Each structure stands twice: as structure tokens, then as C-alpha cells.
Amino acid sequence: MKRFYPPDAGSPPVGGAADAGAADAGLAAGIAEEISRRLARSAIPIPVGVSNRHLHLSAEHLETLFGRGSEMTVLRPLGQPGQFACGQTVDLEGPKGRVRGVRVLGPVRPLTQIEVSLSDARALGIDPPLRQSGSLEGAVGVRLIGSAGAVEAPGSVIIAQRHLHLHLADAARLGLNDGEIVRVRAGNPSLRPTVFENVVARVSEKFALEFHLDTDEANAAWVKTGDVAHIA
Ligand SMILES: [Zn+2]
């Protein structure tokens, strides 16, 4: 379906009497349809999931850090199907300092990926890029320290782009496509109501509906896991 996106802060199209006709009527109908679509979707509650600093490990790094033959232990399942917090934690070491006890998330991935907040990055003395999970272009390195060993992990640290996970059914209900950028309103209205810009919609049959923020973002808006957000 072709959608018409009205400008955020513009004037409605102005036409002289001579221009008024079927085209304008069609435009007006399109705008009305778009507005009602947006009103409907902004009423749908979306659970918030706050991502604390964490890392995904390759099988090779898992063994280096925790010993040959090590396997991830399941501490608890996460909001996304099949994902879990592991019993294992790792210390991160950068040029300026250490961040201790960073949770490993499972399952094992082909590449190690470490997601930190900007506050963590400052404490470590590193300058990671903002990236979507799975996109490690320009990612920076850090030293990982586990219970059985340590390893340099170059090109592995990112700050996660805020994003919305959607199952196919959620995407249909909300009228969103994979990769689409939306605004999400979150936060206690009486404390720090906040609209988050540049939220990437990520659609997969493996996902459950959830709005993911890191701890810096969540604290700024006074939101926590389990709170409810809405598309703005
Ligand atoms: Zn996520």
C-alpha cells in the first residue's frame, strides 16, 4: 500500500479554486487515512526491555575465557525467544579502566559482539560506534577477562542503536516494515516523558514485540523493563 506521510511541521497543501478537484479529494482522503492509521497504532502498548551492558561470545572466545569444553549455563530466558542470560560474566578492560561482571548472553554466535552504554565506553576509555546488533563495521576493541583466561577482542564493541523488535504479526498490526524508522514515546508522564527518535523497526518471525533501550537511555527517561511505550 502506498502511504502518504504528512510533513511534521508544514502547512497543508494550498490550491486555488481552479486546482480543487479529484486530486485534492484524493490527497485529503489519503491524509485522513494516514492520521487514523497513526492514531490506531499509537494506542498499541509496547513492552520496554532495558539492555544492560552485555556480550555475545563466539565458541572460540567462550573456551578461551572459561576453559576448553565450556558451555553456556542458562541463568534465565530473555524477552526474545531463544535468547538467554548466561551464568557466566566477563570483565571488560579498556585503556582507562575496567567494567566488571558483564553478563554473557546466549546462544553462542559466529562473532563476539559487546554492547555497552556511552557511560561504560567513557569509563573504559573507548569510542565505539552506534550500530544495530549484528553490524560491526567500525566496532572497536576491548580486552575480555574470564574465569579461565583473557583475550583481545578487536572490532567487537558497539553502542546499540535503539530498536523495536516485532514479530511478523506485530508488524502487520502496527503497519511497520523491517528497517523502518519510528518515534517511540516512553517514560513516566509525570517524571520524564520522552520521545525517542530514530528507533529502527526490526521484523522477524523469531522476535517478540519489545522496545529495546540501553541503560543510559532508559535512565534518562526514567523507564525500566516491563514499562509500556507507544509509537509516537
Ligand atoms: Zn534488541
Ligand 1 geometric centre to CA of 195 (Å)? 18
Q: Are residues 212 and 140 in the same domain?
A: no
Q: Are residues 89 and 180 in the same domain?
A: no
Rounded to whole angstroms, the Cα distance separating 192 from 206 reads: 32
Ligand 1 geometric centre to CA of 184 (Å)? 15
- What CATH number is given to the structural domain containing 172? 2.40.40
Q: Quick one: which of 25, 99, 10, 105 has its CA closest to 62?
A: 105
First to last CA, the chain: 21
Q: How much is the pLDDT for 1?
A: 45
Q: Are residues 144 and 172 in the same domain?
A: no
For 213, residues 6+ apart whose C-beta sits below 8 A from its C-beta are 48, 49, 50, 51, 162, 186, 196, 221, 223
Rounded to two decimals, the pTM is 0.83
Q: Are residues 34 and 96 in the same domain?
A: no
Ligand 1 geometric centre to CA of 18 (Å)? 52
Chosen domain end from 109, 126, 159 = 159
Residue 10 domain-assigned (yes or no): no
Ligand 1 geometric centre to CA of 134 (Å)? 11
Q: Are residues 151 and 168 in the same domain?
A: no
Q: What is the pLDDT of residues 146-162, one digit of tens each?
A: 999 999 999 999 999 99
Which residues have a beta carbon within 5 Å of ligand 1, which is an ion?
212
| % pLDDT > 90, the chain | 82
CB 167 within 8 Å of CB 208: yes
Q: Are residues 148 and 181 in the same domain?
A: no
Q: What is the pLDDT of residues 168-195, one digit of tens each?
A: 999 999 999 999 999 999 987 888 999 9
Q: Are residues 108 and 202 in the same domain?
A: no
Ligand 1 geometric centre to CA of 31 (Å)? 32
Ligand 1 geometric centre to CA of 199 (Å)? 11
Grid cell at residue 15: 490550491
Ligand 1 geometric centre to CA of 163 (Å)? 6
Domain span at 223 = 22-48+163-231
- β-bridge partners, 50: 213
Q: What is the pLDDT of residues 210-227, one digit of tens each?
A: 999 999 999 999 999 999
Does the pLDDT at position 2 exceed 50? no
Q: Quick one: which of 113, 150, 155, 107 has its CA closest to 132?
A: 113
Q: Are residues 57 and 26 in the same domain?
A: no
Ligand 1 geometric centre to CA of 52 (Å)? 11
> Into how many domains does the chain fold?
2
Residue 4 domain-assigned (yes or no): no
Residue 16 domain-assigned (yes or no): no
